Chains A and B, each alone.
Chain A
Amino acid sequence: MQIKPILGALRRHKAGTVLIALQIALTLAIVCNALFIIQQRLAHLSEPTGIDEANLLVISNQWAGTMSPQQIDAQIQTDLIALRQLSSVRDAASAEGYPLRGGGWDNFVMLKPEQLQPTTDAAVYLGDEHSIGTLGVKLIAGRNFNATEVMRMGSRQIVVPPVVIVTKALADRLFPDGSALGKLIYPMTSTPTTIIGIVEQLQRQGVSAWSKPYAYEALLWPMRQDAGGVYYMVRAKPGQLAAAIREAPAALYAQNRMRILDPEDGGTYPQIRQRIYESDRGMAILMGIVCVVLLAITAAGIVGLTSFWVGQRRKQIGVRRALGARKRDILSYFLTENFLISLGGVLLGSVLAIAMNLWMVQHYEMARLSLEYLLAGIVALLLLGQGAVLAPALRASRVSPVEATRSV
């Protein structure tokens, strides 16, 4: 294939050449970054929580009126008994927060009592001997709490249970040699708490970027809070979630009607995921639409300009055909021409894509663009160019040599 004559011809169509190359460059820059954003968002919203999401129901319960701490604690215990007695319910536990969203807090964790700078951060979950079974998290080392270890915590009161269960992620962060079981830790306290069990995985109570450094680092304390609201974690028997959704609120109101069950907070995990990840999902959809429309418009633009060139050069094509060029030669001429322009476009586009990504890294906590996305984008755009140019090029190849003799 002769490249020199093609380059020579392009020099006579500077404006069109530059426009197509520029369009391909900009498209590459935006599509690469958009695809990368989509991948990041999808990865974020498919992070596991480590719990039995399919069978769990979260009920947000606030107390109304005036109740003493004793009354609240007694009410929580009778509520839990009532929930556990429902035929559709496998187990139930109280909590101050639930994975992905809702209440709860995080405590810095220290390894020595006098330590000021934290070793790491951890999501704090409160519960009792039913919590692990209710959440459906897997105990991989040590033991569960027993009923006598469960303590009470009042409003604005710090209570440190002597025992704690931690996630594997937290255990590994604190004791990388795997010796966490039986060790003492100091989660913002000067009194120690002993690690008696390790669970496989438990996500934190939020998914925002600031808390990402302690993702999956959680600790579970045997404790009930007798002030403020409470979450009831209800694990339905397999296939009975719908029944549990019907029965549980009724059972609670039957115990005491002075409570507020917030429908906007909690629910089933598909509902919770829907709420939590709405901005991630929206972003992925938006970027998807942009990619598709952008590629379509770029392809259409290439078809339009190339068709124009073919129309302009019918005579020259006719001359070449009359001088012995085969249809194949004409076809490959236009394909090569487009390939050269596209190549220039993707070279410029790669620089633009990386610059755009670096700018977002600096301003919007984005991750670095991985090169596979850039390579995939380059290949996609080169193929798109070839595909778009195919129809006009085929039309050009069908120009008859007779054209050379017509109306000069």
Chain B
Amino acid sequence: MFAYYFQLGLRSLRRNPALTALMVMAIGFGVAASMITYAVFRAVSGDPIPGKSAQLYIPQIDGWGPQQNIEGEPADALNYADAMALMRAHQARRQTLVYSVNMSVLPGGSRSLPVAANGYAVYGDFFPMFEVPFLYGNGWSQADDDARAATVVLSEEFNQKLFGGANSVGRSITLNGQDYRIAGVARHWDPKPRFYALAWNNGFQDASDFYLPFARALDRQIESNGNSCRGHLNFSNWDEWLHSNCVWVSPWVELDSAAEAERYRHFLEGYAADQQRSGRFAWAPNVRLRNMMQWLDYKHAVPSETRISLMVAMGFFVICLVNTVGLLLAKFMRRAGEIGVRRALGASRREIYTQYLIEAATVGLAGGVLGLALTAAGISGAGLLFQPQIARLAHLDVALVGLTLLIAVLATAAAAFFPAWRAARVQPAWQLKSN
């Protein structure tokens, strides 16, 4: 019966090509608009480290006070004194500080033109905490951190650029004129959004090139990319700057359970209270401990353009569906006479209902195929509509193809509930009489 109704559906669609084309296009455009914007939204709103993000927390401590902080919230990053105090207290299983650096490197030896490289100064715990996979070698140990070793981890892409992809562990590279021994090469790793760099940028910039020990970076006085300060600035050298209220360090801690997180929060409050007692802070403790997803939400990691586009596209789809309901109604009711004959010949309401739902689903399927083509075209052209660094994250995969077709068919069938119900309620006697 299904196959027969499907055939009837196809035949009926051929009968009014203009009306059918209109419905198919409405469904196609609607579903494509929703899917393109959804593909972009999906790419930027995901969990950067699935399975681990709930254990990763970013502590914030207000070092500026109620008069100078941002609407009562502590700054996005820590100043040097507070960051180092957290590291020394070592109240979490794993912990790291992160800051963003730009350095120069000579890719082809001392005679080549230098190129810029961007990286992060981190502690050895960074790699196991964030589950960084390694292609060659591995990260560095706490002993290396303590020894302020001149060691470095490269990204796979940067290793490709400098060493043609060869195992470079043990060799050294020259960053800002200083030699660093390569401890490991990370396998392609570029969580999006880059949660650990949201204090400095939007989280969707180019993949990072290298990671070097935090303590070593400070010894070499490598400047951070960006810092934010309050009050009168009166430092005149690196050390005075380090001890100013300027914030530029992102701390991350790994806490395995809610109870541990609660304990860490108490520790932060205790620390801030100590600072108040000692006179360093003239205000009551104001600390935060957000986990990764809360942090992404707080920093509005998903660009508002992406959200607004998704909502407008879904509104557009709803209108397309309302349109389809109207057109299906017109199409079905035009065949009231035919329905009357079938009913008089013994077809039950249920059968009429099924037949028209299947006919609508056929329209949905055709709309879905059109929508799929438009979605594919749209995703490849997403660079015109979204920032390239975000647009290139969107891609068409099996899940999206399935979702596109499924939504097109289901939405059209849902739109057909009312028209098909009206069709099934046609009174045979009425129709037969009037003919």
Residues of A close to B330: CB separation below 8 A: 16, 304-305, 307-308
Chain A residues lying within 8 Å of B385, measured Cβ to Cβ, are 282-283, 285-286
Task: Return B139 CB to nearest CB of chain A, in Å.
Answer: 27
14 new A-B contacts, CB < 8 A, other than A186-B232, A304-B330, are A15-B418, A19-B322, A30-B315, A62-B102, A65-B104, A188-B232, A189-B232, A190-B232, A260-B115, A293-B316, A294-B316, A298-B323, A308-B334, A360-B308
The answer to whether B312 and A290 have CB atoms under 8 Å apart is yes
- Chain A residues, Cβ within 8 Å of B132: none
A180, chain B: closest CB distance, angstroms: 22
Give the 8 A-B residue pairs with the shortest CB-CB distance, closest first. A64-B114, A308-B330, A156-B241, A64-B104, A66-B177, A301-B323, A19-B326, A282-B385
B176 within 8 Å of A by Cβ?
Answer: yes
Which residues of B in the span 15-37 have a Cβ within 8 Å of any Cβ on A? 19, 22, 25-26, 29, 33
Q: Is the beta-carbon distance between B387 and A283 smaller than 8 angstroms? A: no
Partner of B308, one of A20, A156, A190, A364: A364
In the complex, per-residue mask of A134-160: 1 if CB is within 8 Å of any chain B CB, else 0:
000000000000000000001111100
B residues 85-140 near A (Cβ < 8 Å) are: 102, 104, 106, 113-116
Please tell me if B68 contacts chain A, counting CB pairs below 8 Å: yes
For window 180-238 of chain A, which residues contact chain B by CB distance below 8 Å? 186, 188-190, 227-229
Residues in A whose Cβ lies below 8 Å from that of B309? 283, 286
B313 lies within 8 A of chain A by Cβ: yes
Tell me whether B329 is interfacial, beta carbon within 8 Å.
Answer: yes
- Counting chain B CB atoms within 10 Å of each CB, which of A26, A229, A287 scores highest? A26
A66 to B110, CA, bound (A): 13
In the complex, A12 has a CB within 8 A of chain B: no
- Residue in A22, A279, A407 whose CB lies within 8 Å of B386: A279
Contact yes or no, A26 B68, CB < 8 A: no
* Docked pose: A262 CA to B22 CA in angstroms: 50
Assess whether B29 is in contact with A188, with CB atoms less than 8 Å apart.
no
Give Cα A257 to B330, complex, Å: 74
The residue of chain B having its C-beta at the shortest distance from the C-beta of A20 within the complex is: B326
Q: How far is the CA of A282 from the CA of B325 in the complex (A)?
A: 31
How long is the Cα–Cα vector from A285 to B233 in the complex, in angstroms?
44
Q: How far is the CA of A66 from the CA of B116 in the complex (A)?
A: 14
A282 B104 Cβ-Cβ under 8 A: no
B327 touches A301 (CB 8 A): yes
Count of residues in A whose CB is under 8 Å from the partner chain: 64
Chain B min CB distance to A391 (Å):
12
> Any chain B CB within 8 A of the CB of A365?
yes
B234: Cβ under 8 A from any A Cβ? yes
| Cβ B223 vs Cβ A158 within 8 A | no
Query: Which A residues lie within 8 Å of B163 (CB)?
Result: none
Q: Please provide the chain A residues from 341 to 367 with a CB less than 8 Å away from any CB of chain B in the complex.
A: 360, 363-365
Q: Does A116 lie at the interface of the complex (its beta carbon under 8 Å from any beta carbon of B)?
A: yes
Question: B104 to A30, Cβ gap below 8 A?
Answer: no
In the complex formed, the residue of B with least CB distance to A107 is B233
A29 within 8 A of B: yes
CB distance from B37 to the nearest CB of A (A): 8
Residues 167-182 of B contacting A (Cβ, < 8 Å): 176-178
> Chain B residues near A26 (CB, 8 Å)?
315, 318-319, 322
B67 within 8 A of A: yes
- Cα A290 to Cα B309 with chains together (Å): 10
Among listed B42-50, B147-155, B299-307, interface-contacting one: B299-307
- Which of B223, B313, B326 meets A304, CB within 8 Å? B326
Contact residue among A154, A189, A278 (Cβ-Cβ distance under 8 Å from B233): A189
Residue among B237, B307, B387 making CB contact with A282, cutoff 8 Å:
B387
The CA-CA distance from A16 to B233 in the complex, in Å, is 69
CB proximity of B186 to chain A, nearest CB, Å: 23
A23-58: CB near B (< 8 Å → 1, else 0) gives: 100110110011001000000000000000000000
Q: Are B308 and A116 in contact (CB under 8 A)?
A: no
A157 lies within 8 A of B236 (CB): yes
B233 in contact with A304 (CB, 8 Å)? no
**Is B52 interfacial (CB 8 A cutoff)?**
no
Shortest CB-to-CB span from A405 to chain B, Å, is: 15
A64-B104, A300-B22 as given contacts; A30 in contact with B323, CB under 8 Å? no
